[in-house]
Amino acid sequence: MKFKIAKLPGDGIGPEVVDQAEKVVKAVCKKFGHEVSFEFGYIGACAIDKYGTPYPEETHKICLESDAVLLGAVGDPKYDNDPTCQVRPEKGLLAIRKQLGLYANLRPAGTFSALIHKCPIKEEIVKGAELLCVRELIGGMYFGDKGRTDDGNTAYDTCIYHRDEIERILKVSFEYAMGRKKHLTLVDKSNILETSKLWRQIAQEMAPQYPEVKLDYMYVDNAAMKLITDPRFFDVIVTENTFGDILTDEASCISGSMGMLPSASIGDKSFLFEPIHGSYPQAARLNKANPVAAILSAAMMFEYAFNLKAEGKCIRDAVSAALHSNIVTEDLAENFQSYTTTEVGDWIAKYIYSGELD
């Protein structure tokens, strides 16, 4: 096959980790006989510096012309603690998600046998946990009406969902549950929120179409507790945008490091893959950030955008081999030597394909 990938490294450690993902994608394509090309685009703070906007038209065009987008991270501390600031790099992320219609954000969280000791949760509780969080990505409070009153002293953010938005995300969630352990948990706050009540109502209406799926419901506060006290309870979680944002940071603890978790964002026509971690500016350009989340995002790209399961598995196997051989960055190295971002990327790429890449 032939793939065109939009490469949007973004800010902070984004460029370093995406370079490793690119290397790995090239290695897989060599091994399996695919042709691949990468087209660079700006997003986030670097795009504000160059174009005055965090998601320029040029970048959008590159994305529309590509088969998938590989994104690093956005964000720069120079915008923090400035509540008056009008353009923030994060706006670029919201814009790309919205403009590409990426409504379903898939965030898998599971354990890595080589890293189980790094997990803050006791091994007997976490071992074998393997869940998929399906986060609604282009609705809710993130995109609802927001603002201030004229005197500036009252602020509001509106959480709003239309039936169509709920139905489409529940549909993919039921389908992913069908392909897994057939257990779907809708996480909401339906004892309080009207939007949550609508989510529950629609889930109940749709459930008969998926008789094999065991559907249950959980309040978000309870789910936050259950994720760390009994993570194996979950198979597929589906939830609205804000709850999904918060719960998936929490779920990353199951894997042992934020630097391990990939994500896929899926729309009707576009696909985007990015680590769930942020731009980690303190580590930028130090060649020490963990590239595994970006590399596993590339694995998800083969699996979800191109339906090439063997290619995805080949990347996962190489990552496991690196972990078992202690070829890891500083965040994971304990009492042994750590490797740089590029060394980890090179090792994984070489494990997949030992010849020349370019």
- Residues in contact with ligand IPM by the rule CB under 6 A: 90, 93, 245, 276
**Cβ closest to ligand IPM, residue 188 vs residue 245:** 245
CB 93 to ligand IPM: min, Å: 5
Helices (runs of H) and strands (runs of E) counted in the chain? 12, 12
Residues from 223 through 282 that contact Mn ion (CB under 5 A): 245
Q: Which does 119 bind (CB under 5 to 8 A by kind): ligand IPM, Mn ion, none?
A: none
Q: Tell me how far apart the alpha carbons of residues 316 and 314 are, in angstroms, rounded to a whole number.
A: 6
Residue 84 amino acid letter: T
Catalytic residue among 26, 30, 189, 288: 189
Residue 245 designated active-site: yes
Partner in contact with 90, chosen from Mn ion, ligand IPM, none, beta carbon below 5 to 8 Å by kind = ligand IPM
Instruction: Please give the structure tokens belonging to residue 7.
Output: 């490469």
21 binds, among Mn ion, ligand IPM, none (CB under 5 to 8 A by kind): none
Question: Which residues on adjacent β-strands are paired with residue 36?
Answer: 3
Contact 188, 240 (CB under 8 A): yes
Q: Tell me if residue 221 is catalytic.
A: yes
**Which residues neighbour 268 within 8 Å (Cβ) at sequence distance 6 or greater?**
101
Distance (Å, rounded) from C-alpha 180 to C-alpha 235? Answer: 7
Per-residue binder mask for Mn ion (CB under 5 A), 180-219, x = binder: ----------------------------------------
Using the minimum distance from each CB to ligand IPM, give the nearer residue, 30 or 248: 248
SS3 of 40, please?
strand
The tokens of 355 are what?
Answer: 């010849």
Q: Which residue is nearest to Mn ion (CB)?
A: 245
Q: Could you give the CA distance from residue 148 to residue 142 in angstroms, rounded to a whole number?
A: 15
142 part of the active site:
yes
189 in catalytic set: yes
Residue 227 partner contact from Mn ion, ligand IPM, none using kind-dependent CB cut-offs of 5 to 8 Å? none
Determine contact, residues 306/1, Cβ cutoff 8 Å.
yes
**Is 79 among the residues known to form the active site?**
no
Number of residues that bind Mn ion (CB under 5 A): 1
Q: What is the largest CA-CA distance in the chain?
A: 65
Binding residues (CB under 5 A) for Mn ion: these are: 245
Active site residues: 142, 189, 221, 245, 249
